[in-house]
Amino acid sequence: MAFKALNLSENVLRGVQAAGYTDPTPIQLRAIPVVLGGGDLIASAQTGTGKTAAFALPVLTRLGQHGRARVLVLEPTRELAAQVETAFRDFARFTDLRTVALFGGVGYGAQRAELKRGVDVISATPGRLVDYIKGGELSLNTIEILVLDEVDRMLDMGFLPVVKDIIARCPKGRQTLFFSA
């Protein structure tokens, strides 16, 4: 089955084609319809199986066009937060949707400027995300889709209390996608 049959938006399909993908991977085949339908998801998927596109493509389709901060992806490491934001940006290249990566170890200036400009998708590590929330620069009350990626690693790294706090700040009616290895 091709990507075309999965009901992704025209603009997101163009992004998939530009990425050079022809056929969906098994996790993409199974997850994309669930996410497009608005359902919650718990999936076990290793890096390398195509799991980033499994959530990014239907999430971007659901967003449609630029609005407010509606998607939060939590990642255990800076590298993953950056990598996932790059994937979202690539797939969204034919839309007007905006993405930002928020992670520690770099200055606040550029990330803060992106937030001020207005973003649709945030890919973040828990610590740096909370810095912006506590500083009053970001609120999670507009989040419609929460993606908890590499949950097992986040818990191993001791992020449970901060992840719980972040989840509690998102609206109760949100869609939640949960990925673990």
- Name the residues that contact ligand AMP, by CB under 6 A: 21, 23-25, 28, 47-53
Alpha-carbon span 181 to 168, nearest angstrom:
24
Alpha-carbon span 119 to 121, nearest angstrom:
6
Nearer of residues 50 and 67 to ligand AMP, judged by Cβ: 50
Residues shown for the chain: 181
Nearer of residues 31 and 130 to ligand AMP, judged by Cβ: 31
Nearer of residues 28 and 125 to ligand AMP, judged by Cβ: 28
Q: Which residues pair with 71 in a beta bridge?
A: 121, 145
For residue 32, the minimal CB distance to ligand AMP (Å) is 10
Q: Which residues pair with 73 in a beta bridge?
A: 123, 147
DSSP 99: E
Alpha-carbon span 101 to 103, nearest angstrom:
6
For residue 172, the minimal CB distance to ligand AMP (Å) is 29
For residue 16, the minimal CB distance to ligand AMP (Å) is 8
For residue 174, the minimal CB distance to ligand AMP (Å) is 22
Nearer of residues 82 and 133 to ligand AMP, judged by Cβ: 82
